[in-house]
Structure 1
Amino acid sequence: MKRLAKHSTVQGVVFSLLFAIVLLISLSVLLNRISFGVSSNQGFNLAEVFSGSPAINASVPGAAPSLDSGGDALEIPDTDAVITSEEFGNFSSTAPVVNSPSPRDPVSNRTRTHSRSSHLVPAKSPAPVEANDDDSVEAANGEIRDNRSEGEGPKGQVGTFFDPEVRNPPPIGPESGLDGPVVDGPDEDGVSRLEPSELTKIPPELSPLPGYSGDVTVNSSPIAISSSTNGVSNQTPVLNRGDARQQRMFQPAGLPHYSFVKFSAYRQSLRTFFVNGISSYVARSFDKDKVAHTCEWHPGNGSLPLSMHTDPGAFVETTAEHIYMKSDENRGTYSPTIINCTFKVPVGANRLGGLLVLRISTGYDRWEKNLPILALEEQVNEVNIVSTPPEKIPFKYAFCGAPMHGTVRADWILHWMKYHHYLTEGSAHFFFYNLGGLANSDRPVFNEFINAGLLSITDILDPNLSWDYPTWYFHQVLLINDCLHRSRFMAERVFFFDYDEFLQVPAPDSLKMFMRRHAKEPWISFGSIYANTKDCRLPKPGESETLFERMVWRRPRPECRIQQAKYEGPPVDALHCIGPLGRRKYVANPRKTFAAGVHWVTIPKNGLDLSGNGAHILHYRSAPLPKTRLCSNNVTMDGTDDDGEASVLEDGWIQDDQVSQIFKRAKSYPIVPFIRNAAAGGF
């Protein structure tokens, strides 16, 4: 019984050990696959060790004995077969050895070694060795070299990172079928056949590397690289991507992101300046740093040219405050930004001029914290503009048009100008921002306004503007704020309309009476009502009418894009639908308004959102674009077209010819230089 119990105990221990070994092997395989992927062989594989893998080549002189089928012990040396110090110095000067697959090692063609330590061992530099088909020779002078490729993982680990087909490419030669000329189209296996010489031919447009003479040369010593099949050796030069002479460089792709791109700068008072520009969303999101750190005022001495004062104590410094403009609907790579420089004391009050300098961030946590850029160069006596009294402001109104891009109808824009010129009684100045949409041949159309001093055209003709500095809708928000600040001491009120938007003040009210009632408001927004540009009334016999005069149909209520914007807030009345949902536009007092968007004013928040029943804008959508077909359908005054089959009234349009009647009178209204009557005062 004792013998049986002892036998059972021994048997149990043996089974437990075998079970543990099997479990350990399975666990090793599982961990290996989890760490390096299901198809990867990288890593120390216990299954390969215990299964007597033939990957360890014992036929190489000096190699460690392998665990073969005879059951010899696996001896792991105390020192590793490493790259010696001399080898390390000459590693880049040794040509790679191309080995053919060994019959004893169908998977790998290099000697593998195992080690537990890693240190440099002084040794002689190995001589270059030419490989052959019979042996995977990787040793010189009886020493083993680790021929591990970069990316194969740490030394001393069995396995390889590369796919077997990549490690052992198919032979090139007669046996492979690649010795013939190039055939038309792919073979049955889908591969186009090339001559061996074609594989190593350097294209004529590429100049050879220095020292290239047909063989691969390293340190002016030619090294033959051979690929042999059946004893046939073809010595041809191959491109060694690992060679140090191969060019490596930083090649930027895409677009650079600047912390800040300045566009313009204006003085607001004796202590405050506003700098308009765009800042990178990327820099603001990830750098965790301010776009601009400080503002500096360097006083001038009354002489030109001005220059930054070298005395550190001669300038005044203040913290830069930022106003990031929210795009009303969409975003771009850059965000319109206003930098507010407000000093604690008046600067430039001596009228001798000076320089406004910004310290712009170069990135978060860098050695050089900021870079100086010149924001404004103020000339002698230029500061006097901030003391302009209201009665000395040149114009009552200013109109800031949308950026002109693509192609625009100059005749339509002229209609827009004449209409509002009449509506403001000739007391308005117009600002155009031309981004290439206004052709040179169309400029004479506006000569009357230009010669009268009623139109300013700012050309921004950089063809790469939208590509280099992408932002929403051709920098419209940036240009709106530039126009706002440049008109601060030029007009009492500024309208921000597109060229397809016309202000309508229902009779018997007038623009002058309307503005007097709301003179204290910093800004007033108007509802936007669609006008019909497709259905136009029939031309009047004997009269010379423009297409614009025949557009007499509009929607009864302002637009409100609740459904398009997937609005989920409280119910909104279309008459009071504000902001981008209502497509609203506005008029602002430039001395009380400091930042604005397309459909609303950003600073200040308090203003008047007018009901759509009062003054509003008529939106002749896309009419200034040549691609828009105007008056494609003629209708009678009762709303039916000329063949009597349809009615615009049934489509929800109503008749309103007030704008058409005003334009009839505006066509003949004189365009003369506006002279401000100081006795008339403000509104």
Structure 2
Amino acid sequence: MVTKEKEQIPVKEKKLLVGVIWNFSTELKLIFMALLVIFTLATLLPFIPSSFSLSASDFRFCISRFSSSAAVPVNTTTSTAVEQSPENTTETDRVLDNGVIKRSFTGYGSAAYNFVSMSAYRGGVNSFAVIGLSSKPLHVYGHPSYRCEWVPLDPTHDPISTDGFKILTDWGYGRIYTTVVVNCTFSSISAVNPENSGGNLILHATTGDPDRNLTDSIPVLSESPNSVDFELYSSKSRRKKYDYLYCGSSLYGNLSPQRVREWIAYHVRFFGERSHFVLHDAGGIHEEVFEVLRPWIELGHVTVHDIRDQERFDGYYHNQFMVVNDCLHRYRFSAKWIFFFDVDEFIYVPANNSISSVMESLEEYSQFTIEQMPMSSKLCYSGDGPARTYRKWGFEKLAYRDVKKVPRRDRKYAVQPSNVFATGVHMSQNLQGKTYHKAESKIRYFHYHGSISQRREPCRNLFNDSRVVFENNPYVLDTTIRDVGLAVKTFEMRTIGDRLLRTRQ
């Protein structure tokens, strides 16, 4: 019996321990959970950023969130009082007599420049032309003005100034920037810088803002001593360096070297020895295109201007209005005639005429426009057979002309630059003298729209008919330019040799 009692004691104690644990199981679970959280935090603590911290103020903020929920809602009239309090208005805001608060708006920085200068040139013994860009909203909604000042290098001579006459040349096509040509004609009887001692032309560009009439003074032209040839501006009988000069618009995109090769060879032959071509590279004259132009540059027929920096200023079509005006004034006294057209357009005169005879017949006009002959850039003439067709030059096989009747087609033009103050892309509206618009029997241009930017074989549709309807458009076979293809190829070979025979599309 004693032994059985001793054996039963541990059993009772075990049952008692299990009962205690069972009765306090909920509390023990909470304790274990708390310990688990503590150990977890202790493990993660080294990985928490040092910038993270909890302070007593953070706990007070949490407590205040609970207490504020029971607070009385703020009356809406209180917020109105805050709006009208002097502490919440700027110094330039003011309360009108009727209680209305007049708000003000103050600009900082430069969203668009007041004036972006590209160039300035003499237009005569006492006149200058300044070419650049300006903020279009400023000219649409404001009243900007310009004043020109000539500051001689000789300190014994006083500066002179005159009002500048601004010409907006892009017909409202500007974007953030619009093209501005400022004509500065000084009223002095004698020439500006008469002793050829040098000086600087300063353009004072005023915003015209009634509240803050800001003026930027911009040095636009500097003449060193003995650098001006005044006979260039006073002698009308002096022969020009070039009979014909081409001013090209901004060239951009991935241009086809072969199409450029064809265009330059055709026009150097067409205009002759006393011609020159000014091309403006806005990203389109990549290395392959430059290799096509290199032989003609070496012969003195081509000049390339790198104008890629103008991309910073958002104007119409890579700022082509500014570019052609710069070209006009830069070569104003170097050429008898300046032509304005594109590198996918080919000038033509009838076979019984020459370019010199046509220009002589138009000498009484300061400007004449040239009618467009629209050619397809998709349809090719296959009369030579498919194999030979693909070896032809672009203007030889693209021989179908669009004859759809339209109210008016685009025109290009030529001017006698000494009579022109500013110009556009399709014609000039700022000149002295007459303009002739009926020269279609004398001179025309064939337009292969879009062909210059295709880096591939242009022939996708071959026809051997004299009339074709394609995509609901009527076309007729026109071999006018095609017929001079052999003569152009022969001219290129005789002039620069076979350097460009391996030119790619």
TM class by shorter chain equals 0.7 to 0.9
- Residue of structure 2 equivalent to 1:107: 73
* Closer/same/farther in 2, CA of residues 318 and 625 from structure 1, 3 Å limit: same
What corresponds to 1:615 in structure 2?
443
Match of 2:93 in 1: none
Counterpart pick for 1:667 among 462, 485, 489: 489
1:445 lines up with 2:445 in the alignment: no
Q: Check the 8 A contact 1:393/1:490 in 2, yes or no.
A: yes
Map Cα deviations across residues 311-338 of structure 1 (whole Å, 9 max, x no partner). Answer: 7x6211111111112337x331211111
Distance 1:113 1:661, change over 3 A: closer
Aligned-partner Cα distance in 2 for 1:441–1:475: 24
Note if contact 1:539-1:550 (Cα within 8 Å) is conserved in structure 2.
no
Q: 1:390 to 1:438 in 2, by over 3 A?
A: farther
Deviations 1:88-125 (A, max 9, x none): xxxxxxx99956456875534xxx899xxxxxxxxxxx
- Give me the whole-angstrom Cα distance separating, in 1, the residues matched to 2:238 and 2:437: 27
1:331 counterpart residue number: 174
Residue 263 of structure 1: aligned partner: 118
Q: TM-score, normalised by structure 1?
A: 0.54
Specify the code of the residue in structure 2 equivalent to 1:337.
V
Whether 2:456 is the aligned partner of 1:603: answer no
SS in 1 for 2:490: coil
After TM superposition, give the deviation of residue 512 of structure 1 in Å. 1.5
Distance between the aligned counterparts of 1:277 and 1:550, measured in 2?
41
Corresponding position: 1:513 with 2:357? yes
Is the 8 Å Cα contact of residues 639 and 648 (structure 1) preserved in structure 2? no
What is the CA deviation profile of residues 605-654 of structure 1, one whole-angstrom value per residue up to 9, with x for unaligned ones?
74011254552211100111026761111222x348xxxxx766995222
- Is the aligned partner of 1:375 residue 2:220? yes
User: Which residue does the alignment assign to 2:415?
Assistant: 588
User: CA 1:404–1:548 in 2, change beyond 3 Å: closer, same or farther?
Assistant: same
- What is the letter of the counterpart of residue 177 of structure 2? Y
In structure 2, distance between residues paired with 1:258 and 1:549: 47
Please show how residues 529-544 of structure 1 align to structure 2 within 5 Å. 529-538=373-382, 540=384
Q: Which residue of 2 aligns with 1:81?
A: none
Structure 1's 669 and 351: CA in aligned 2 closer, same or farther, altered over 3 A? farther
Residue equivalent to 2:131:
276
CA RMSD of aligned residues (A): 3.4
Map 1:292-307 → 2, pairs under 5 A? 292=146, 294-301=147-154
Given the alignment, which residue of 416, 433, 454 partners 2:301? 454
Q: Which residue of 1 aligns with 2:474?
A: 652
Instruction: Provide the rounded CA distance (Å) in 1 between the counterparts of 2:263 and 2:269.
Output: 10
Structure with a larger share of its residues in strand: 2
Contact 1:270 1:383 in 2 (8 A): no
Q: Paired residue for 2:37?
A: none
Comparing 417-426 with 531-540, which one deviates more in the overlay? 531-540
SS at match of 2:303: strand
The CA deviation at 1:349 is 2.6
The amino acid across from 1:632 in the alignment is: R
Tell me how far apart the structure 2 counterparts of residues 104 and 667 of structure 1 sit (CA, whole Å). 94
Aligned-residue offset at 1:591: 0.5
3-state SS of 1:392 partner: coil
SS at structure 2 position matched to 1:277: strand
Call closer, same or farther: CA 1:391–1:634 in 2, change over 3 Å.
farther
Identity of aligned residues (%): 25
Say yes or no: does 1:495 pair with 2:342: no
User: Aligned match of 2:196 in 342, 351, 355?
Assistant: 351
- Paired with 1:103 and 1:411, the residues of 2 have a C-alpha distance of 78
2:454 pairs with 1:626: yes
CA change 1:350–1:649 in 2 (3 A) is same
User: Aligned-pair distance for 1:395?
Assistant: 0.8
Shift of 1:538: 2.0
1:482 matched to 2:448? The reply is no
Counting matched residue pairs gives 407
Amino acid at match of 1:551: L
Give me the whole-angstrom Cα distance separating, in 2, the residues matched to 1:386 and 1:103. Answer: 86
Contact 1:257 1:283 (C-alpha < 8 Å) held by counterparts = no
Secondary structure of 2:192's partner?
Answer: coil
Unaligned 5+ segments in structure 2 are: 1-60, 86-105, 497-505
Partners of 1:420 and 1:358 lie apart in 2 by 39
Give distance in 1, aligned partners of 2:265 and 2:213: 54
* 1:318 and 2:147 aligned: no
Q: Equivalent residue of 2:396, what SS?
A: helix
The superposition leaves residues 143-184 of structure 1 with CA deviations (integer Å, 9 ceiling, x where unpaired) of xxxxx77984458xxxxxxxxxxxxxxxxxxxxxxxxxxxxx
The one-letter code sitting in structure 2 at the alignment partner of 1:295 is C
1:473 & 1:373 partners in 2: Cα distance? 26
**Cα distance per residue 1:572-611 (max 9 Å; x no partner):** xx5xx4xxxx311101111011111111211127401125
Cα distance change, pair 621–378 in 1 and its aligned pair in 2 (3 A): same
Alpha-carbon distance, 1:414 to partner: 2.1
TM-score by length of 2: 0.72
Whether contact under 8 Å (2:373, 2:446) holds in the other structure is yes
Shift of 1:286: 3.8
How far apart are residue 391 of structure 1 and its match? 4.5
User: Does the 8 Å contact 1:524/1:588 carry over to 2?
Assistant: yes
Q: Shift of the alpha carbon at 1:664?
A: 2.2
Residue identity in the other structure for 1:623: S
8 Å CA contact 2:151–2:158 kept in 1: the answer is: yes
Deviates more, 1:516-525 or 1:598-607: 598-607
Does 1:424 find its partner at 2:268? no
The Cα shift of 1:351 comes to 2.3
- CA gap of 1:668–1:351, structure 2 versus 1, over 3 A, is farther
Judging by fraction of residues, say which structure has more helix: 2
Distance 1:436 1:553 in 2: 31
Residues 610/588 of structure 1: CA separation in 2 closer, same or farther (3 Å cut): same
In the alignment, which of 442, 456, 470 is matched to residue 314 of structure 2? 470
> For the residues of structure 1 that align with 2:336 and 2:247, how far apart are their CA atoms?
13
Contact 2:152 2:197 in 1 (8 A): yes
Secondary structure, counterpart of 1:653 in structure 2: strand
Are residues 510 and 281 of structure 1, via their aligned partners in 2, closer, same or farther at CA, if it must alter by over 3 Å?
same
